[in-house]
Homo-oligomer: A and B are copies of this chain.
Amino acid sequence: MCCSYSEQQKKDVTNFTQEQKQLIEKIGIYHEQQGFPPVVGRIMGLLYVSDRPHLSFEEIIDTLNISKSATSNALNLLLQMRLIEYTTFSGDRKRYFSALLEKWHQEVVDKMGSILAFSSLLRKANELRGDSNPGMNEKVLERIEFMEFLSREVPLLLEKWRKERKKYFFCPL
How many of these chains are in the complex? 2
Determine if B27 and A104 form an interchain contact, defined as CB atoms under 8 angstroms apart.
no
Q: Scan A1-36; emit 1 where CB is below 8 A from any B CB, else 0.
A: 000000000000000010110010011001001010
Residue of B nearest to A147 (CB): B104
Q: Take A30-B118, A35-B35 as given contacts and tell me if A104 and B146 are in contact as well, using a CB distance cutoff of 8 Å.
A: yes
Chain A, 55-104, CB within 8 A of any chain B CB: 101-102, 104
Residue of B nearest to A142 (CB): B101
A140 CA / B50 CA spacing, docked (Å): 12
Q: Scan A132-173; emit 1 where CB is below 8 A from any B CB, else 0.
A: 110110011011001101100100010011001100000000
Q: How many residues from A make CB contacts under 8 Å with B?
A: 47
A30 CA / B120 CA spacing, docked (Å): 12
Instruction: Provide the residues of chain B in CB contact with A164, threshold 8 Å.
Output: 149
